[in-house]
Structure 1
Amino acid sequence: MFVYEVDEHITLQQLKLQDANQLFQLIDRNRSYLREWLPWLDTNVEPEDSLAFIDHMLQASKDKKGLTAGIFYQDKLVGVAGFNVFDWTNRIGYIGYWIGQDYQGKGIITNVVRALTDYAFTEAQLNRVDIRAAFTNNKSRAIPERLGFKEEGLLRQAEWLYDHYVDHVVYGMLASDWRKN
């Protein structure tokens, strides 16, 4: 099972089936806040949906297709982050993340993404990490920018969010650039 200590307060832990209720409660408390940027909230309406999500993520990890973990801040589940997809042919990991509204502004996601990027280049031996964020999601875009990722382009109408499309900004980091910094 994946467990990665980010710092003295933050740990990434692969979610277990037993975490489904806690995950669902976190989602449910933050539903209106998360809805602005996450397209899957209408399909996660009961604890069984969070259970199915965790089961799917465990299978993806077992198959080495992704690696998703709970973000535990002071031993409390506060969000989810990880590699939504691994492209092993091209050695690329695609990072995604979200956090409960009460935990924003504490540097948690910045530290988590830094740790995941380190993991990508040192443990997983990837060559590239991609992060995509909605063009108008300034808080999410600030994470890769703060960590020195290069803004590489704009994908027009890249994601359907309930009743409209949003453009995505693509950020990339290469292993060689990460090591220089």
Structure 2
Amino acid sequence: MFTYKIDEKTKLKMLNLNDTEPLFMLTNQSKDSLREWLPFIDSTKSSADTEAFIRGTMKQFSDNNGFQAGIWFEEQIAGVIGFHKIDWNNKSTSLGYWLGKGYEGSGLMTKSVRAFVNHAIGELGLNRVEIRAAEENTKSRAIPERLNFTEEGRVREAEWLCDHYVDHIVYGMLAKDWNKSNK
């Protein structure tokens, strides 16, 4: 079970079924701010939907294909970060993340992504971590930029969000670059 203490107020903890209700409440309270960038928000209508998501993440972990963690700040769940999947043959993964309403702009996500990249490269032995964000999602794009990821390009009309396609900007970090910049 993954748990990572970031500082005195913040920790990352792999999601489990005990997190269902607090995660559903956070998702539900944050729908308006999350809807613009996360297509699953409108289909999360009850705690049963959140439970199904957590069960899926538990299967992801048991299949050795990564995991999802809650971002906990002052003992309250503030968001989620996780590996989409792990490509063990190519030693690569991609990250996804979101914060609930009221937690943005506090540095929580930058700290959380740093911890996940450290884990991916240092503990799992991966060579590459990728982050994709919608071109217009400047808050999400700021995270890899702040952590010195390389902007590698654009994937046109990569995702359908509500009623339109958005382009993704692709960011990558290689183990050799991460190790140089984090010593």
TM over 0.5: yes
Segment drifting more, 120-129 vs 4-13: 4-13
Question: 1:119: which partner in 2?
Answer: 119
Segment drifting more, 134-143 vs 12-21: 12-21
Question: 1:132: which partner in 2?
Answer: 132
Structure 2 matches for 1:2-151, cutoff 5 A? Answer: 2-151=2-151
Residue identity matched to 1:69: A
Structure 1 position 101, deviation (Å): 2.1
Query: 1: CA distance between counterparts of 2:6 and 2:124?
Result: 16
Residue identity matched to 1:14: M
Query: 2: CA distance between counterparts of 1:171 and 1:5?
Result: 26
Query: 2: CA distance between counterparts of 1:143 and 1:11?
Result: 18
Question: 1:152: which partner in 2?
Answer: 152
Deviations 1:69-99 (A, max 9, x none): 0000111101000111111111111111000
Question: 2:167: which partner in 1?
Answer: 167
Structure 1 position 178, deviation (Å): 0.5
* Alignment check: 8 A CA contact 2:29 2:101 kept: no
Query: 1: CA distance between counterparts of 2:96 and 2:6?
Result: 16
Deviations 1:91-110 (A, max 9, x none): 11111100012011110000
Structure 1 position 7, deviation (Å): 2.0
Query: 2: CA distance between counterparts of 1:2 and 1:179?
Result: 22
- TM-score where L is the length of structure 1: 0.98
Structure 1 position 8, deviation (Å): 2.0
Structure 1 position 66, deviation (Å): 2.1
How many residues align structurally?
181
Unaligned runs of 5+ in 1: none
- TM-score where L is the length of structure 2: 0.97
Deviations 1:15-47 (A, max 9, x none): 111211111100000001100000101221000
Segment drifting more, 81-90 vs 51-60: 81-90
Provide the secondary structure at the position in 1 that maps to 2:26. Answer: helix
Query: 2: CA distance between counterparts of 1:171 and 1:163?
Result: 25
Segment drifting more, 135-144 vs 5-14: 5-14
* Alignment check: 8 A CA contact 2:155 2:170 kept: yes
* Alignment check: 8 A CA contact 2:61 2:67 kept: yes
Query: 1: CA distance between counterparts of 2:9 and 2:128?
Result: 27
Unaligned runs of 5+ in 2: none
Percent sequence identity over aligned pairs: 50
